[in-house]
Chains A and B, each alone.
Chain A
Amino acid sequence: MEFEPVIGFEVHTELKTNSKVWCGCSTEFGAPPNTQVCPVCLGMPGSLPVLNRHAFDIALKVGLALNCSIPERTYFDRKNYYYPDLPKNYQISQQYEPLGRDGWFDIELPDGSCKRIEIDNLHLEEDAGKNIHPEGQMHVDYSLVDLNRAGTPLLEIVTRPDLRGKEEAEAFMRGMKAFLEYLGASDCKMQEGRLRFELNISVRPKGSDVLGQKVEVKNLNSMSVVLKCIDAEIERQSALLEQGGRVAQETRLWDEEKFETRSMRSKETAYDYRYFPDPDLVDVVIDNAMKERLAAEIPELPLARRARFVSQYGLSDYDARVLTAERQMAEYFESAVSVHNNPKTLANWMLGEMKSRLNEMGEDATADDFPVRPAALAELVRMIDDGSITGKIAKTVFPEMVASGKSPSAIVEEKGLKPLDDSALEPIVRKVMADNPKMVEDVRGGKKKAIGGLMGQIMRATQGKANPAVVTPMIERLIAESEG
């Protein structure tokens, strides 16, 4: 029997704020353990949380951008459970009146078609601390807890089970990441845990419209792991069903070493959170003025920007898609175009040289981290366009720019990479023509392609410092002169 997966996501994203959601501790990543803590986020008795306005604004903005219906009044609930990374023994979350319900998010599939994914709800909560399990030591019988992350504003977006396979899941994850980056909601660095995907997955016979028993999977720390996990779960669940078994309702953990999921013990998943409204926090009344103010801050989103890149800059659909997949890349591009208006060449440089170097810089590296700034790349392209350097030389200047951060004109000056002027060029052209009489004959006989052969020789002789736009007419002139 052929099975199809039915997938939904719980997206957790840490919001981009300076301070935590209930207290003024910093949310900066990478500080020494337990140095960004205070009585509130340590859960000390008598301490009181106060809602971070910016965190609330971001969450509401995301809700509006996800087309959710927004309640007139929202509030926070306590979700009670015991775990060492949760100092209060409850997480402040939203259970009964989340910030948004019944929204949607359009994703784009590789074939260019669009699919609408329904959003069940979105709610604002706090992140937990981090449990550290000492490695490499024998007989370790303890764990360490760092509470720097405890209380970081966390937005959870819950989709309905609308996704039908790996391809759609990947399109969703990439689309959601770009969406959150565009909104400035989160920096989405997955390696830092700023963006996390949890999976709800079930399988059913293809063509059936009945939902199978779903399984929740946690501990998926990158998109590629999510995709591997989908494969593993389809296989595991299908095998179970084929053998006449049943899929148990449970939460499973991804095991990075074994490439499979394993069951969490039922004790850990005793689902009884005894939610109740948090009496330490007051309600938030959301009026139209608040919604209008935040709606006005929603920037152009990826799909819209991509369409504009095609119409405004004449880019191909593919180039526009890659350039707008990340906000930083799109902004880099527009900023470069504003310095030198040659969108197509700039796009080529960004999608070729720049992107391959960015990939080498690591999974989380964005255009913002790129050592060559937009104005410098624009200057490089301008120098090619006005003949100050050849395209070939530009390819050697670019790595220098990446390595040294210097401007292209400084590098060209330093290394003497300017194209040869006519008087320096002509003797070389004459010599190459004299050494290759056959090619000259071919050009004379009307074989345009033969000019390419001469050009190659001239480039070699000048180490790329000959400008093809100058060389071609020069060859033609010299041939004409020799005839006359």
Chain B
Amino acid sequence: MSETVRLDRVEEITLDRVRHVALLARLELGEEEAVRFSRELTGIMTHINKLGELDLEGVEPTSHAIPTANVFREDTARPGLSNDEGLANAPEKDEGCFKVPQII
């Protein structure tokens, strides 16, 4: 399970962390790129850390700016896209399916 990255604790996005995130995102990074991202991301995080200076005592965490709740749709099925439309952007397709590099 991932530890929560607390803004006020992040000092440096180390090379190890860059490589870890790259693996999770299935990105292949060269050594030079990794070094550059480590530097740039550390800069970005330092900038974002400014938010940690705010006094948020008594402010409830939220993921929304608008206080809305309980938005539902009714359970009615309706037609979606055709198979052709659904696969229109697929780089490769076969037998009505998305074709991807072999899994397993």
Contacts and interface: CB of A to CB of B under 8 A. Distances in A.
A interacts with B: yes
Interface of A: 17-19, 23-28, 32-39, 41-42, 50-56, 73, 75, 80-84, 131-133, 140-147, 267, 270-279, 282-285
A277 B2 contact: no
B36 to A, nearest CB: 22
Given A142-B100, A144-B94, A285 B69 contact: yes
Contacts of A32: 83, 96
Given A143-B104, A267-B23, A282-B71, 11 more contacts: A17-B75, A24-B77, A32-B83, A34-B87, A34-B96, A35-B80, A80-B24, A132-B97, A144-B99, A273-B1, A274-B2
B80 to A, nearest CB: 3
Contacts of B9: none
A413 B80 CA distance: 52
Interface in B1-53: 1-2, 20, 23-26
Given A32-B96, A282-B70, A54 B77 contact: no
Interface in B52-104: 63-64, 68-78, 80-83, 86-87, 92, 94-104
B98 to A, nearest CB: 4
B75 A53 contact: yes
Given A274-B24, A279-B63, A282-B70, A84 B98 contact: yes
Chain A binding site: helix, strand, loop or mixed by DSSP?
loop
A36 B86 CA distance: 9
Contacts of B78: 19, 24-25
A54 B75 contact: yes
Interface of B: 1-2, 20, 23-26, 63-64, 68-78, 80-83, 86-87, 92, 94-104
Given A18-B77, A24-B80, A272-B20, A143 B70 contact: no
A75 B69 CA distance: 10
A271 B75 contact: no
Contacts of B98: 34, 84, 144-145, 147
Nearest to B3: A272
Given A35-B82, A82-B25, A143-B100, A18 B76 contact: yes
A82 B100 CA distance: 13
A239 to B, nearest CB: 26
Contacts of A56: 72
Contact of A282 (B64, B77, B82): B64
A183 B81 CA distance: 32
* Closest CB pairs A-B (n = 7): A38-B80, A54-B75, A144-B97, A277-B63, A53-B72, A145-B98, A26-B77
A87 to B, nearest CB: 9
Nearest to A36: B80
A82 B76 CA distance: 30
Nearest to B71: A282
26 contacts: A17-B75, A19-B78, A25-B78, A33-B96, A34-B83, A34-B87, A34-B98, A35-B83, A37-B80, A41-B80, A50-B72, A53-B73, A53-B75, A75-B63, A82-B25, A84-B100, A143-B100, A143-B103, A144-B98, A145-B100, A267-B23, A273-B1, A276-B63, A282-B68, A283-B70, A284-B70
Contacts of A145: 97-100
Contacts of B97: 33-34, 132, 144-146
Given A33-B96, A145-B98, A25 B71 contact: no
Contact of B102 (A140, A147, A283): A140
Nearest to A54: B75
Contacts of A143: 99-104
Contacts of A146: 96-97
A285 B70 contact: yes
A19 B102 contact: no
A283 B65 CA distance: 12
Contacts of A18: 75-77
A87 B88 CA distance: 15
Given A34-B97, A38-B80, A39-B81, A52 B2 contact: no
A133 B75 contact: no
B74 to A, nearest CB: 6
A144 B95 contact: yes
A50 B81 contact: no
Nearest to A51: B72
B103 A84 contact: yes
Kindly name the residue among A38, A39, A144, A278 whose own CB sees the greatest number of chain B CB atoms within 10 A. Answer: A144
